[in-house]
Amino acid sequence: MTRATLWSLDLSLVDDPAFFTGEEVAVHGLCDLVSYVVRVDSYVAKTYSPATDPAGHGWTGALQGMSVAVESPASPPPPSLPQPAPPPPAQSPRPQPSVVLPGEDGGDDGVAALSPRAPPPSPSARSPPMPPPPPPEPTRFTMLAVAVSLCGLQPAVRPDTLKGLLLGPARTTLQSYAVAISSGRAYLDPADVTVAPGVVDIPCSGFSSGGPWASSSCRPLDQQGWAEYVVAAVAARWGLAQGRYQRVVLALPPGNPCGPVSWASQSCAPEFFGWPLSRCYVLWTATGTFWPYWNIMHEMLHNTGLFHSIRANSSDPYGDSSCIMGSGYNTCLNVAQMQRLGWAEPLAALDEPALPPNTWRRFTLPALSTALANHIRISPGWLAPAALSNPNLGALYVSYRVRAAAGCDGGLDDRHHGLVQLHAYVDTLPLTSPWRGNVTVLMATVGPGQLWPPAADRSLPPGPSVSNLHLALRVVSRTPLTDAVPRVTLELCRYTLITECV
């Protein structure tokens, strides 16, 4: 089997190179007579062949940091990739742990009060020693940012204002938020964050490599057309070097057909460096008075291949309101996505042997936004053959969320403030799933004095769902939420009978 990146696939194997770059559908029309494997990073997301894809010569799926392996014929060599990013600015030292105090009330639906006769934790229930953390691999964001008019609609921000929002002197810049949301492991490189010195006027219609586009609608084809037009205009007017940037960011005028939302392409994860800059865009309606830096980051993280964070038992595609990849408003990412990006490290990593049945294990976690090592990662091997049980495909993540002025959780609301979260993360899903690619699901929110799930909500058939993970979680206590580093003490227990772990 030889491997090609999608760059070479685009040249040699794609009969229909019309990419629909949007939030839900990022690529359409991949086809060939050979089978191929689509990978998201190192994870196999889907395998296709004429036999498994009887519809033949076409599928629709997400394009998120994929490289593509083809069985035959030999494919062209992949393009060269960019060099590793330089180290980020120095990080501040992490605060020291504080004393654990008795808990307070709080919590959410779907949890039960703890039994006062709950057994004490096992004396041996301590986190196993973790291997030393890998050296930091900073995420470097670069961009070409352009204020645009659209068919005569004039932008509300000028280039100097746009630059102030990105790098300063705005109170919260995209730069400062990138540092906060990544535990100091991401940054905007000022040397490669360039704001076009003037407004680019996008006409009312045009023709791009994808076909005709208009400024009166906001289809992916239109977005792509605007991006292509702007990149060409910027190069022609100011000669700005395109190859330096990972993405083009367009500040759209109020009243544009996209509405007060933001959009991005998912077809520009690092593997695709070398594609035209216009293939990797972020669009946002800049009002001049409202600065939704978390929305811009949401779209930039789509650029890097992240998908949305949803909530169990909800059809809302943005159901996790504690995460900016859901409907979080000025919050952090969920910890599973932080970990995927290298922005968080586990305090403990548990597998099936580490969680013997009906045995509570106790852990203390700092609030997610206060420490790089901020979560428990669980590989639920007992759920095999579900993808969640495969450590190469997914895991469960336990974290603790506290609203604080410092850090990235300043906008966390009371549905999550001071509570423990359990997220499920998988990097592969069946084609029939409405959620494509990597998906995070908020499975549970648990407060002090509460047990999740209550025995009445448990079931035994295996499989990942909110009610039958066969994993119980209870919150024992938490320190004052106003501490510099608020901490929570929690316990985990795996049950094989619904009468266990109660």
Which stretches of the chain bind Zn ion, using CB under 5 A? Answer: 23
Contacts by residues 465-468 (CB-CB < 8 Å, ≥ 24 positions apart): 465/312, 466/110, 466/312, 466/313
The gap from C-alpha 179 to its chain's centroid, in whole angstroms, comes to 15
Closest separation in Å from C-beta 23 to Zn ion? 5
Closest separation in Å from C-beta 177 to Zn ion? 17
Helix (H) or strand (E) holding 328: none
User: Which C-beta is closer to Zn ion: that of 7 or that of 318?
Assistant: 318
User: Which C-beta is closer to Zn ion: that of 23 or that of 409?
Assistant: 23
- The two tokens of residue 250 are 């367009």
Closest separation in Å from C-beta 62 to Zn ion? 11
User: Which C-beta is closer to Zn ion: that of 228 or that of 320?
Assistant: 320
Residues 6+ apart with CB under 8 A from 373: 133, 344, 345, 346, 347
Q: Are 473 and 460 in contact (CB under 8 A)?
A: no
Q: Which residue is nearest to Zn ion (CB)?
A: 23
User: Which C-beta is closer to Zn ion: that of 161 or that of 322?
Assistant: 322
Backbone angles phi, psi at 444, to 5 degrees: -155, 150
Closest separation in Å from C-beta 141 to Zn ion? 17
User: Any idea which residue has 């979680």 for tokens?
Assistant: 473
Closest separation in Å from C-beta 263 to Zn ion? 8
The gap from C-alpha 478 to its chain's centroid, in whole angstroms, comes to 27
Distance CA 314, CA 296 (A): 25
Closest separation in Å from C-beta 220 to Zn ion? 13
User: Which C-beta is closer to Zn ion: that of 101 or that of 261?
Assistant: 261
User: Which C-beta is closer to Zn ion: that of 329 or that of 462?
Assistant: 329
Helix (H) or strand (E) holding 195: strand 186-195
Distance CA 301, CA 163 (A): 20
Answer whether the bond into residue 380 is a cis peptide, omega within 30°.
Answer: no
Closest separation in Å from C-beta 22 to Zn ion? 9
User: Which C-beta is closer to Zn ion: that of 284 or that of 382?
Assistant: 284
Closest separation in Å from C-beta 117 to Zn ion? 46
Residue at 285: amino acid letter: T
User: Which C-beta is closer to Zn ion: that of 436 or that of 478?
Assistant: 436
Q: Are 51 and 13 in contact (CB under 8 A)?
A: no
β-bridge pairing 309-311 and 439-446: parallel
